[in-house]
Amino acid sequence: MRGRRRLLANGVTRGRAAAGLHRPSTRSQPVSAGIILTQAAQSELLAQQVSAPTARDGSKDPAAAQGAPLTTPWLSIRRQARPIAVAAATCLAVLLTIEIAFFRSGFFATHVAISNPQTPLAKLALAERQRDTRVLYVGDSTMMTSVLPTVVSATCECGPGFNGGFSAANPWLTRAMTERLLGVMHPRLVVISVSPWTVDAHARFQDSDLDLARQLMSPAEMAALGASVDIEDRVDAALGSLWSGYGQRLLLKEWFSALAPGQRYDESLLGYWVAPGSANSYSRVVAATGRLFADVGEADPSAAGATVVTSLVEDLRARGIRTVFMLPPLHPAAYELAGPYLQAADVAIRDIATREAVPIVDCRSVVDATDFRDATHILPEAVDRYSRCVGEELRALASD
């Protein structure tokens, strides 16, 4: 009996133990949940540590690891707003000081050195130092390279002169240059070089003239001539009027170029200038002449360019300034290639002079083919002779 009871007790115990393997334990549930939460916390902490910035010594930034906001450039600028404002105000004060003391005061214009006086701005800068001019010469490069004011003045005894001619000038640009020069000087006489292209019926102000026109005219004035003026031109002009350093950047380049040894223009030449070099061969002169007269139309005293010159004469007369037309010298090859047009142009120019009661200076006969460097410019060796002739004719006109 006792042995049977032990066997039954052992069976019951084993049965209960076996049953316990298939019944969920209420004590095991909190343990499992704790394990799951611990694993999630560890994963989150690991992610923060991975994303946190690393210092130079390899340690993680604790502020970033705890989820603190990272510093942005705008926050740094905001923190440094006061030093930045002080620096900006200092720069602005320096720029204003330079603008007023260096540019607006006229110091720059009266002291800037020039290396090449072919451009309108360069001629205007030179004119600032020649305010006592009594005879002003205007026109294109044929005027600039053929009239030496000192020789003319010594011959005509008509007072100091200044050569305001510049390369690639046309009637529209010549008028604009004359108006700008009259704001600087007060001459008694203006000698206008009237080339055969002035009376060309086909000639118009073109967009190709804008590079030079920007140095003399406002965007509104260029647009009035029919030029294509875009927003960039208007913004550029407005910025140049507000900031002289930008508006006179071409003169600043000239100034730096003139600092090189031997590059500074001799201002005693009073605007006269000719490029160094020797005469071209006759074949090259003929080729260049052919290109110059390839697109000319009829010579007409009422052409657009002639009208501009006529209006300039009338404006000068209203100011009490006398005017004289000068017929520029041309290589004899020009008369061989474009003789009929040149003859008609000569008649048209003289017709304008008669109508406006303007005398003409004609010294073309004092130079020949050997005196020319190319189709339209005489050599320096012939300049004295040509300038003396101009002075003699001006003296004769003054005595009439």
Tokens, residue 238: 């407005």
Span 219-240, mean pLDDT?
89
Task: Answer yes or no: are the C-beta atoms of 292 and 334 closer than 8 Å.
Answer: yes
Distance between CA atoms of residues 145 and 265, nearest Å? 14
Gyration radius (Cα) of the chain, Å: 43
SS3 179: helix
Query: Taking 70 as the threshold, does the pLDDT of residue 70 lie above it?
Result: no
Query: Taking 70 as the threshold, does the pLDDT of residue 21 lie above it?
Result: no
pLDDT of residue 28: 43
Span 178-198, mean pLDDT?
97
Distance between CA atoms of residues 160 and 182, nearest Å? 15
State percent of the chain over pLDDT 90.
57
Residue 7 phi/psi, 5° resolution? Answer: -65, -40
pLDDT of residue 5: 47
Query: Taking 70 as the threshold, does the pLDDT of residue 390 lie above it?
Result: yes
pLDDT tens profile 342-377: 999 999 999 999 999 999 999 999 999 999 999 999
pLDDT tens profile 55-66: 445 555 554 545
Query: Taking 50 as the threshold, does the pLDDT of residue 194 lie above it?
Result: yes
Beta strands 322-327; 189-193: pairing state: parallel
Classified by CATH at the fold level, domain 131-204+265-399 comes out as: Rossmann fold (3.40.50)
pLDDT tens profile 201-223: 999 998 889 999 999 999 999 99
pLDDT of residue 142: 95
Tokens, residue 277: 């070099």
- Confidence class of residue 98 from pLDDT cuts 50, 70 and 90? confident
φ/ψ region of 218 (left if φ > 0, alpha if ψ in -120 to 50, else beta) reads beta
Query: Taking 50 as the threshold, does the pLDDT of residue 27 lie above it?
Result: no
Average pLDDT for the chain:
83
**Hey, CA dihedral for 75, 79, 80, 83, is it positive or negative?**
positive
Tokens, residue 386: 């040509």
Distance between CA atoms of residues 41 and 31, nearest Å? 16
The more confidently predicted of residues 270 and 20 is: 270
Span 47-70, mean pLDDT?
50
Span 84-93, mean pLDDT?
84
Query: Taking 50 as the threshold, does the pLDDT of residue 2 lie above it?
Result: no
**Hey, CA dihedral for 100, 103, 109, 115, is it positive or negative?**
positive
State percent of the chain over pLDDT 70.
81
- Confidence class of residue 4 from pLDDT cuts 50, 70 and 90? very low
Query: Taking 80 as the threshold, does the pLDDT of residue 103 lie above it?
Result: no
Distance between CA atoms of residues 311 and 214, nearest Å? 21
Query: Taking 90 as the threshold, does the pLDDT of residue 146 lie above it?
Result: yes
Task: Answer yes or no: are the C-beta atoms of 197 and 305 closer than 8 Å.
Answer: yes
What residue type is assigned to position 54 of the chain?
T
The more confidently predicted of residues 253 and 102 is: 253
Span 98-116, mean pLDDT?
77
The more confidently predicted of residues 3 and 318 is: 318
Query: Taking 80 as the threshold, does the pLDDT of residue 15 lie above it?
Result: no
Tokens, residue 28: 């095991």
- Report which of 247, 123, 143, 234 is spatially closest to residue 184, judged by C-alpha positions: 123
pLDDT of residue 398: 86
- Confidence class of residue 6 from pLDDT cuts 50, 70 and 90? very low
- Confidence class of residue 69 from pLDDT cuts 50, 70 and 90? low
pLDDT of residue 29: 45
Distance between CA atoms of residues 170 and 230, nearest Å? 22
SS3 320: coil
- Report which of 132, 131, 133, 128 is spatially closest to residue 108, judged by C-alpha positions: 128
322-327: strand order across its sheet: 161-163, 135-138, 189-193, 322-327, 360-362
Residues recorded for the chain: 400
- Confidence class of residue 13 from pLDDT cuts 50, 70 and 90? very low
pLDDT of residue 18: 43
Give the up-direction half-sphere exposure of residue 360: CA atoms within 13 A in the CB hemisphere: 18
- Confidence class of residue 24 from pLDDT cuts 50, 70 and 90? very low
pTM of the model: 0.75
